[in-house]
Amino acid sequence: MKRGDSMDRYSNGYEVYQENQISTSSRSGLLLMLYDGALKFLRFALTAMEEKKVEEAHGNLVKVQDILNELMATLNFDAGEIAGKLYSLYEYMNQELIDANIQKDSEKVEKVYGMLEELRNAWAKAMDPA
């Protein structure tokens, strides 16, 4: 077996694990996974920006924008006005990331990181059965 074959098998195993995590998670668990993913990619983007890796920063910011778009698409507007407020907030963060990407502005990325971290922690606390 070649070394690449081993890496492919590992990669495929990880993908299967992730798919199982997603398919067996509750709706609230999926929400936290999206927030965690966005925060992870924002950290990657900030590191890439510090290291002047423009393409890497861009790619990670686009991933966060995709997550924000998913969060907007899955809002339940029948649940009351909170959905509209969250939509506006996600839309604002998305625009901040577009501007940050164009201007190479890490402060805007840090601002969005703080906002998403606050939302993530609030949802986690609300879901805690204790």
CATH classification at residue 105 = 1.20.120.340
Measure the CA–CA gap between 53 and 42, rounded to whole angstroms.
14
Measure the CA–CA gap between 32 and 25, rounded to whole angstroms.
10
In a domain, 11, yes or no: no
Question: What is the rounded average pLDDT of the residues 56-71?
Answer: 98
18 pLDDT band, cuts 50/70/90, is very low
Measure the CA–CA gap between 56 and 58, rounded to whole angstroms.
5
> With contact defined as beta carbons under 8 Å apart, do 57 and 108 qualify?
no
Residue with the two structure tokens 């609030």: 122
Instruction: Domain of residue 113: give its range.
Output: 27-127
**pTM of the entire predicted model:** 0.78
The single-letter DSSP state of residue 51 is: T
pLDDT tens by residue, 31-55: 999 999 999 999 999 999 999 999 9
State the helix-helix crossing angle for 3-24 and 27-50, rounded to 10 degrees: 130
Residue with the two structure tokens 């698409």: 73
The single-letter DSSP state of residue 79 is: G
Amino acid 22: pLDDT:
47
In a domain, 14, yes or no: no
Number of domains in the chain: 1
Closest CA to 116 of 82, 67, 80, 73: 67
State the helix-helix crossing angle for 106-127 and 81-103, rounded to 10 degrees: 150
